Structure 1
């Protein structure tokens, strides 16, 4: 085409074509004066709403620049290690009013814990033939020393079927309670997502959305309803005598012990307090809430403020609680990139137990393997490490009852089978892995804890504060 015949790009289109954007924004043809006034009102209202949202976002951005950077902490560890219990203890210490405002809602979860324990017992008894009961002579051990009633084998066999029949309404409650908890979680998640739609910077909103897509009924989101679930409470109350009869039977304890079913070691254990938790007037205590167990699925984020009692800086903490089941561990990776610290919880008392998902793997050995994979992960090389050797009270009871640590870990050798020696050996093992395998030096804390003990949690919080102080000094080039 000759140069003189070339037209600007804009002129290559028909001059009669209307700009689609201008056409969409232009007033309708043949618009009446009354319609014009209504349209102007709608446009002004939309403009005010848009300006209000922009002002709110700008205010939040300005506030974020002025406040200290939130501390991000990842809670890791295998299933039933005590992560969620430790998190609840953090909430109790940092935000006691909000924690206790949800008190009544925990009753449903505690009732569900009781029902699950009863089901485990009845399933164990049902799978035991009458000829096997003669082999289950009750013996003294830490697992059965609390039982108070003795029943002959014949009495147990004759009472088992009618007792199970009387407890059938209790077992039927399990599915009902699960459905109620799921409904609460869905409602709370919807409310939480509605709040997030206009809050926080864009990246925080997206991150929260991703976490809440997998939120479990075990997170704090389930605690928004305060109904008292009278039906389930009434059924448990009416069957409380049968529940006590089952749990106080010494032969039942012998069956559980021989099958290595240790209910007292499990989170959510309330059978020793059946009279209290089945009362119609029952309201969970702080201790009961800490002991309540509901499996964590996926990842949930919890925000709380940690104030210095001596007038120091108040910091926002964002703790990410991650499901510890083996099938969930692949979901940890997206949360590894920008964590300030990792709290790794090890159930040190589980040295003689196997994983529920793989009976060929020792639980403590699995924690050691998981710890190794975490400290060698390059995405985590800038994250400070806090190791919690949890459930020390159960460890002490096991060792005192004569269970030998060396039977499960031959490398322990002929060292004394006492709490101090065993816990020191385990602590050194984890520490040596960190020193030898970590890509770079980092702050490291190790505490022996009982997650339901407030004092243990207080020491953990002090460790976090010290970690933050060291980090701030390093950033200021003082260290």
Structure 2
């Protein structure tokens, strides 16, 4: 039972020392209660208060006494989201106090609290850190902060003659979703996509469909998966057409920024693939008794004219029928597509194949979600500008593959903040460029380097833990221990996602550098808009604070 506060000022220290926190569990999580002394923010005296910490809550609440707790009338609340808690040595005004700790909130406000014993101090610090790892930013806090930021920007602009520029460097490993973040910015803040861009993405969607089906075909052949006879016949015809199409199709680029993702090369040769990776030089063993080489050659010749027109006219009707026939096989939609992840099949292929009847229409124009789901490898550098609340944002997106990272150093100058994107669903996948390296482990290593790089010591780091929708689905069938053998928690999204988040946050070596983490689904415009609004406020607040004289 918690000790009640002593009303005599002479016995305050005794009461604090005697107060030990009580800890017990409820359906909502562990609760930590205890009387602690809090230093006032206005009148700098110490007041004994009953502090209550519920794991799973977004606040620590403190009360005058237990009677106020019973009526749910807290004296105050301390927000836990992204807060810092550490031991604090209080020696001001010749009045030293032992066993203090400081809680610094996300908004920069500090609470200095004094415990009664060393054990109590340690217990509270550790419990607050644990609770903070699960806490989320409240809507009230977001709204108040957003209004404050807008007012500060308006006040700041009255004293400046030019629009301030915020430079964001978008980093992460390949296929983490960085380019999707840029697409969302265009949708939300840059009037969407031009007609030229929409035509590019129309072609890219069709190419994603065709290449995705080619990987599924390869998976069937490589693993000897038994499919229905009509599926096998469709596979043979598609494979023959694909080898002609792939050999004749032109490069697909938009402003020299993108190149097609890794795609397979299907042939009817007798050599079988010996590597688990797919590259343009890969050969596939598609010889079957049902079709002779001469028959396949005849099919190739008859399809050649259509293959050269795909980029302009779209997927030929008879090819879309073959694709639909293969995809309609239940084995392809279950066992095959799961195994195809080994060959780096795009996450969006399933969505596109389910939407095939719409995508092949003559008047097809890609929707925003179609564009967000499209995949192409970023090569070089893409700079995207957009204006929000009288501030110009410049996002610099550079390729994430190992060969592209040497270009990053040229863009470190004048960086306001780093946006690091990590695809947490890739905990069981390997790199395209290195089949022995786990993607998520690679991302952790790269984040360590980025977060602690001396090139931008004053830049904030925004961490997007991306593709949570795919992560939730994958947790149902693939153990986290695939990537983290030491993981002992259950496979629930809350436990697994927070475990990964804490691994990333643990990489920070400079205590002065803030890392703001957010779980994201970059293809979900509505939820991403909320996330970026929060990120925007963080960045602008930090910039304005830095300019205050």
Common topology (TM > 0.5): yes
Which of 513, 516, 527 aligns to 1:445? It is 516
Task: Describe the SS at the equivalent of 1:324.
Answer: coil
Alpha carbons 1:392, 1:448 under 8 Å: kept:
yes
Q: Which residue of 2 aligns with 1:32?
A: none
Task: Describe the SS at the equivalent of 1:378.
Answer: coil
Query: What aligned pairs does 1:22-421 form with structure 2 within 5 A after superposition?
Result: 66-99=161-194, 102-128=197-223, 132-133=224-225, 152=228, 155=229, 159-161=231-233, 163-166=235-238, 168-170=240-242, 172-174=244-246, 176-179=248-251, 181-182=252-253, 185=254, 188=255, 215-217=257-259, 232-252=312-332, 253-258=334-339, 260-261=341-342, 266-267=347-348, 270-306=352-388, 308=389, 314-399=390-475, 401-413=476-488, 415-421=489-495
Task: Give the alignment's TM-score, normalised by structure 2.
Answer: 0.57
- State yes or no: 1:475 paired with 2:547: yes
Alpha carbons 2:424, 2:465 under 8 Å: kept:
yes
Post-superposition shift, 1:356?
A: 1.3
Post-superposition shift, 1:161?
A: 5.0
Distance in 2 (alpha carbons) for counterparts of 1:410 and 1:442: 30
Which of 496, 500, 503 aligns to 1:426? It is 500
Q: Aligned residue pairs: how many?
A: 340
Alpha carbons 1:72, 1:319 under 8 Å: kept:
yes
Structure 1: where are the runs of 5+ without partners? Answer: 1-64, 135-150, 190-214, 219-228, 309-313
- State yes or no: 1:460 paired with 2:535: no
Task: Describe the SS at the equivalent of 1:346.
Answer: strand
Tell me: higher relative CO, structure 1 or 2? Use CA pairs within 8 A at least 6 residues apart: 1
Task: Describe the SS at the equivalent of 2:506.
Answer: helix
CA RMSD in angstroms, aligned pairs only:
2.7
Task: Give the alignment's TM-score, normalised by structure 1.
Answer: 0.65
Post-superposition shift, 1:445?
A: 1.2
Distance in 2 (alpha carbons) for counterparts of 1:279 and 1:170: 20
Pick which of 229-238 and 348-357 moved more. 229-238
Alpha carbons 1:382, 1:442 under 8 Å: kept:
yes
Deviations 1:411-462 (A, max 9, x none): 222x12110101111111111211xx13x61332110000001133221233
Distance in 2 (alpha carbons) for counterparts of 1:166 and 1:430: 44
- Write 1 or 2 for the structure with the bigger share of strand: 2
Post-superposition shift, 1:369?
A: 0.3
Deviations 1:164-186 (A, max 9, x none): 3245435544455543x24xx4x
Structure 2: where are the runs of 5+ without partners? Answer: 1-159, 261-308
